Amino acid sequence: MATPVNVPPSLKADVWQYFGFKNCEDSEEPDKSKAVCKMCKMEVKHCGNTTNLRNHLTRHHPDIPLAKTADTKQRSLEKAFAVKLASTSPRAQKITQSVATFICKDICPYSVVENDGFQNLINTLEPRYVLPTRKHLSEVVIPNMYEKVKHDVTASLKSAERVAITCDSWTSRATDNYLTITWHHIDQEWRLVSHVLQTRTTEASHTAVNLSEIMFKAIEEWEVTNKNPVIVTDNAANMVRAVEITGWLHIGCFAHTLNLASQAGLKVPAVAQLLGRVRRIASFFHRSTVASRKFKEKQKILNLPAHKLVTDGVTRWNSTLEMLERFLEQQPAISAALLSPEVRRSDSDLCSLTEADKTDGEDIVKALKPLKAATLVMSEEKSPTLSIIAPLHAQLLEKMISVSHDSSLIKDLKTAVYDNLKSRYVALKDKLYIASALDPRFKALPFLSKETCDNTFSQLVLEAAGLENVDTAIVSYRNKNKKLFFFALLELEYK
């Protein structure tokens, strides 16, 4: 039986107090391929770890107490995570910046860091991280982030040749008044860059003078007075007058123009009366649990989509169209539900639409389809530009011309929309046509007469008169001045 010798001091695992190595026959060095149990002298294969040795002790010497490796490792991990990250460590600073970004982008209150759920989330993701207090976030982290972002935005604005501004006055749910100003410009890589520069409370009345003063202060604060800005606002009289005071070029928001024109059509007396009845019935089904339950039962019986009725909003004309479309879709279920005894007891004078009303409703939906399509185009466009206004405006005017088979109600609706649209952008039509001519999608100007189209391109040629030859075009292209490049090519084409 082999006699074990002492193991080297480097082997510190607890099992080595019960094992040793035997000496090689031709050397004084021990043979480390096999360990020898000091109690039973059995040789156990040694593969560089203590697994075989522990298994031998567990099987043949169960009375020997050994520390559990998993428990030791677990205690080591727990000990490591018990040490909190220093607030100045790169890891902690990165997480703090992420928390601040989350608060800013999702418009969360500073108190979110005190919520149990949020604290549990952060502790699960990084147990060593210590959340900052709301005071530290509001007085140190967020202000520092603001200064950095402001510096980057200022540098971006300084590189712009011209800027466009959008202004919107709005009221919060707490009935506080605000004015939001957004900047847009093209960077050196010809990408559209947008920055919300400020959202300021407007405690004074929203007069044109007060609004223009806010605009002037914003221009001075961001040092873009020499950028010859163009301002886009809604068509409210005070906003239009405020921009007139500044002296800058003003463009009325086309989406708001569509809303005003559509609202004009919906305010035609006969249309308004029909929509009033639809709105009353839809509201009744929203507030009556009995009627709502009966309505759902009739939907299943008639195999109609399980859609709820829609009530419209004051500021969104398309919500009125959606209300009417949904009402017409669910008309059979509505009529059946209103005829139920339980429903009639709750509102005896409520009745559904007549066949003539349904026909008028379908005609209204059909007449307003072009306006809905235009609204969706403007809403879905990621980077809407001035060039899209003239083509859409021209197409809508064409669609709003009455035809012989239109009913008197539809003629009145189309006339109201047409007159409202016709009065818009009269003073800006030349600029709109030029903008469309510069857009590859509309450069042929198919929505204009030949005479107007020729006049538009003549104006472009006059603007390009300073470009003499193709060398100018090449230089313009190399300098990434695509507008001058286009003008140069256009001039060469006309020559």
Give the count of beta carbons closer than 10 Å to the beta carbon of residue 312: 19
Beta strands 164-171 and 249-252, pairing class? unpaired
Specify the range with the lowest mean pLDDT, choosing from 82-86, 157-161, 309-313.
82-86
Residue located via tokens 């559209």: 192
Query: In this structure, what token pair is assigned to residue 114?
Result: 């005190």
Q: Which residues of 335-373 are buried (b: 16+ CB within 10 A; e: fewer)?
A: ebbbebeebeeeeeebebbeeeebebbeebbebbebbbe
Question: What percentage of the chain carries pLDDT values higher than 90?
Answer: 39
Query: In this structure, what token pair is assigned to residue 63?
Result: 């009375």
Query: In this structure, what token pair is assigned to residue 346?
Result: 């709750």
On the question of pLDDT at 132 being above 70, the answer is yes
On the question of pLDDT at 47 being above 60, the answer is yes
Helix (H) or strand (E) holding 60: helix 51-60
Query: pLDDT tens digits for 401-421?
Result: 999 899 999 999 999 999 999
Give the count of beta carbons closer than 10 Å to the beta carbon of residue 279: 19
Query: In this structure, what token pair is assigned to residue 402?
Result: 């009455």
DSSP string covering 360-411, please?
HHHHHHHHHHHHHHHHHHHHH-SS--GGGHHHHHHHHHHHTS--TT--HHHH
**Average model confidence (pLDDT) for the chain?**
84
DSSP string covering 411-458, please?
HHHHHHHHHHHHTSSSTTHHHHHHHHHTSTTTTT-TTS-HHHHHHHHH
The crossing angle, in degrees rounded to 10, of helices 254-266 and 389-399 is 10
Give the pLDDT band (50/70/90) at residue 187.
confident
Torsion of the alpha carbons at 325, 328, 334 and 339, rounded to the nearest 10? 150
On the question of pLDDT at 357 being above 50, the answer is yes
- For residues 156-183, give the mean pLDDT: 86
* pLDDT confidence of residue 491: 44
On the question of pLDDT at 210 being above 70, the answer is yes
Query: In this structure, what token pair is assigned to residue 31?
Result: 């043979």
Specify the range with the lowest mean pLDDT, choosing from 8-12, 338-342, 351-355, 376-380.
8-12
* pLDDT confidence of residue 479: 47
Give the pLDDT band (50/70/90) at residue 340.
confident
Query: pLDDT tens digits for 74-121?
Result: 555 555 556 788 888 999 999 999 999 999 999 899 999 999 999 999
* pLDDT confidence of residue 177: 85
* pLDDT confidence of residue 469: 46
Please give the Cα distance from 372 to 488 (Å, whole number). 39
Query: What SS3 state is found at 255?
Result: helix
